[in-house]
């Protein structure tokens, strides 16, 4: 069995990369590997160190400045591989401390696996600054992993690596239905009609405003026998990305105002929904809408797969990589096309179409199960031969 160190944000809070790391750690733990997660200190938890599995624990001691305690923890663990979940927006103010720790571990001869989450969006975001950050991290990595075709291509086009391994984003196959949980969320969220659901962090790229443009068309086509639940809130941004946070908050205010101005349509906007409600709501929804303008990959898409949802998504390579034939696809920003696709799945008359998509989602989730993805990542690190092009 391997000893795996993971450098990453870790839930709580319910951040996308933190949750992704949790899925990988759980998979490695089930396989009997020992895992140490080194994470930034979080105000959401009072414990600096806690067990997170039979063979795994997290230590929240990474901070703005490099700390000897974090380095000592990693060294004493004696890892066989270090896995870094990399995105500038996720690492934030801890970016340089994490790079220092990575460099120290690499100096011990431990292979470093860099999993890139946001390269397409981030690499040129702040011009020379973000490009320099990516180049500096590439120099400490032995294995580069992307979770989508677009992500892989962007790393290669930037000349950061000679070779980039692409693995599936990951899903949880075999997610069982729970009727009691379904009834609970129906009651909690007032679900009394066929439901169209969209959820996740608020942002212009998510295209929720396009769904709102489609609402009147869908409502008219279904005799207003449909309701819409828009669940999400802006991501907390720190450091360099506070400006993005303010943009997301402004966009949320616009969405809220539009919802209030839609009398007659059954539209509800909530904040972030509780973790225990996510899977039941995805199952209760007749349609899960992913009207993204841009997406390299999507944790929500893979949650929808795991929940065997009937999905309508924007036709973007990153979403097709994850969803395959488990979705209906529409062009970006095409509100009418989105409305027609969603309408084609609503109501008892369209139940066979929904069930076909749900069956496809189950098959796709099984092919990208986190247990399989975790072993691919570990094998790449233990057998690393991918070297920095520079």
CA 48/CA 38 separation, integer angstroms: 10
Domain count, the chain: 2
Contact 24, 56 (CB under 8 A): no
pLDDT-based confidence at residue 389 (cuts at 50, 70, 90) = very low
Give the mean model confidence (pLDDT) for residues 28-46: 85
Q: Is 198 within a domain?
A: yes
CA 365/CA 265 separation, integer angstroms: 33
Say if residue 6's pLDDT is above 90.
yes
Q: Is 387 within a domain?
A: no
* Burial grade of 353 (CB within 10 A; 0-12, 13-18, 19 or more): middle
pLDDT-based confidence at residue 240 (cuts at 50, 70, 90) = low
| Whether residue 280 is found in the same domain as residue 190 | yes
Say if residue 109's pLDDT is above 50.
yes
Q: Is 227 within a domain?
A: yes
Say if residue 357's pLDDT is above 50.
yes
Full domain range(s) for residue 328: 179-367
Q: Strands of 81-86's sheet, edge to edge? A: 49-53, 56-62, 34-40, 3-7, 81-86, 112-116, 143-146, 165-166
| CATH number of the structural domain spanning residue 296 | 3.40.50.2000
pLDDT-based confidence at residue 173 (cuts at 50, 70, 90) = low
Give the mean model confidence (pLDDT) for residues 74-84: 96
- pLDDT tens string 360-370: 999 998 888 99
* Burial grade of 249 (CB within 10 A; 0-12, 13-18, 19 or more): middle
pLDDT-based confidence at residue 43 (cuts at 50, 70, 90) = low
- pLDDT tens string 144-162: 999 988 899 999 999 999 9
Contact 319, 346 (CB under 8 A): no
| Whether residue 239 is found in the same domain as residue 273 | yes
| Whether residue 99 is found in the same domain as residue 119 | yes
| Whether residue 277 is found in the same domain as residue 214 | yes
Computed over every residue of the chain, the mean pLDDT equals 88
| Whether residue 227 is found in the same domain as residue 317 | yes
| Whether residue 186 is found in the same domain as residue 308 | yes
Q: Is 156 within a domain?
A: yes
Q: From the CA atom positions of the chain, what is the Rg in Å?
A: 21
Say if residue 340's pLDDT is above 80.
yes
More confident residue, 388 or 40: 40
pLDDT-based confidence at residue 174 (cuts at 50, 70, 90) = low
Q: Are strands 56-62 and 49-53 parallel, antiparallel or unpaired?
A: antiparallel
Say if residue 390's pLDDT is above 80.
no
Residues in the chain: 390
37-76 exposure pattern, b = at least 16 Cβ within 10 A, e = fewer: bbbbebeeeeeeeeebbebbbbbbbbeeebeeebbebbee
Say if residue 208's pLDDT is above 70.
yes
Q: Strands of 311-314's sheet, edge to edge? A: 266-270, 227-231, 195-199, 287-290, 311-314, 327-330
Q: Is 325 within a domain?
A: yes
Neighbour count for residue 174 (Cβ, 10 Å): 11
Give the mean model confidence (pLDDT) for residues 335-359: 96
Contact 192, 224 (CB under 8 A): no
| Whether residue 190 is found in the same domain as residue 321 | yes
| Whether residue 39 is found in the same domain as residue 60 | yes
Give the mean model confidence (pLDDT) for residues 295-307: 84
Neighbour count for residue 220 (Cβ, 10 Å): 12
| Whether residue 233 is found in the same domain as residue 333 | yes
Say if residue 141's pLDDT is above 90.
yes
| Whether residue 92 is found in the same domain as residue 196 | no
The percentage of residues in the chain with a pLDDT greater than 90, rounded to a whole number, is 57
| Whether residue 205 is found in the same domain as residue 148 | no
Q: Is 265 within a domain?
A: yes
Question: Which residue pairs, CB below 8 angstroms and at least 24 apart, start in 130-133?
Answer: 130/88, 131/158, 133/88, 133/95
| Whether residue 62 is found in the same domain as residue 94 | yes
Structure tokens that stand for 14 in this block: 């319910």
pLDDT-based confidence at residue 321 (cuts at 50, 70, 90) = confident
Q: Is 389 within a domain?
A: no
């Amino acid at each position: 069995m391997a000893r795996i160190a993971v450098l990453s944000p870790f839930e709580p809070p319910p951040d996308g990369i933190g949750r992704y790391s949790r899925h990988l750690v759980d998979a490695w733990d089930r396989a009997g590997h020992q895992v140490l997660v080194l994470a930034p200190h979080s105000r959401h938890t009072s414990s600096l160190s806690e067990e997170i599995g039979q063979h795994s624990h997290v230590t929240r001691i990474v901070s703005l400045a490099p700390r000897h305690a974090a380095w000592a923890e990693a060294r004493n663990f004696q890892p066989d591989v270090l896995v870094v979940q990399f995105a500038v927006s996720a690492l934030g103010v801890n970016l340089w401390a994490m790079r220092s720790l990575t460099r120290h571990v690499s100096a011990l001869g431990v292979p470093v696996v860099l999993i890139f989450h946001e390269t397409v969006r981030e690499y040129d975001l702040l011009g020379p600054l973000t490009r320099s950050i990516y180049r500096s991290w590439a120099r400490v990595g032995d294995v580069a992993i992307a979770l989508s075709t677009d992500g892989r291509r962007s790393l290669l086009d930037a000349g950061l690596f000679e070779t980039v391994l692409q693995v599936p984003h990951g899903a949880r196959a075999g997610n069982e239905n729970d009727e009691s949980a379904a009834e609970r969320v129906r009651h909690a969220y007032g679900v009394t009609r066929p439901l169209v659901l969209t959820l996740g962090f608020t942002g212009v790229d998510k295209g929720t405003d396009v769904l709102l443009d489609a609402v009147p068309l869908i409502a008219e086509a279904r005799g207003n026998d449909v309701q819409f639940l828009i669940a999400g809130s802006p991501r907390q941004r720190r450091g360099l990305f506070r400006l993005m946070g303010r943009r997301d908050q402004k966009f949320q205010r616009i969405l809220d105002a539009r919802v209030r101005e839609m009398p007659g349509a059954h539209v509800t906007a909530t904040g972030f929904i509780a973790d225990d409600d996510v899977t039941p709501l995805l199952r209760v929804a007749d349609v899960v809408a992913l009207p993204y303008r841009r997406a390299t990959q999507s944790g929500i898409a893979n949650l929808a797969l795991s929940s065997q949802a009937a999905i309508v998504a924007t036709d973007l390579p990153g979403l097709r990589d994850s969803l395959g034939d488990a979705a209906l696809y529409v062009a970006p920003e095409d509100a009418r096309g989105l409305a027609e696709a969603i309408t084609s799945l609503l109501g008892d008359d369209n139940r066979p179409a929904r069930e076909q998509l749900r069956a496809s989602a189950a098959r796709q989730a099984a092919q990208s199960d986190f247990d399989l993805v975790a072993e691919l990542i570990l094998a790449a690190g233990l057998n690393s031969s991918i070297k920095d092009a520079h």
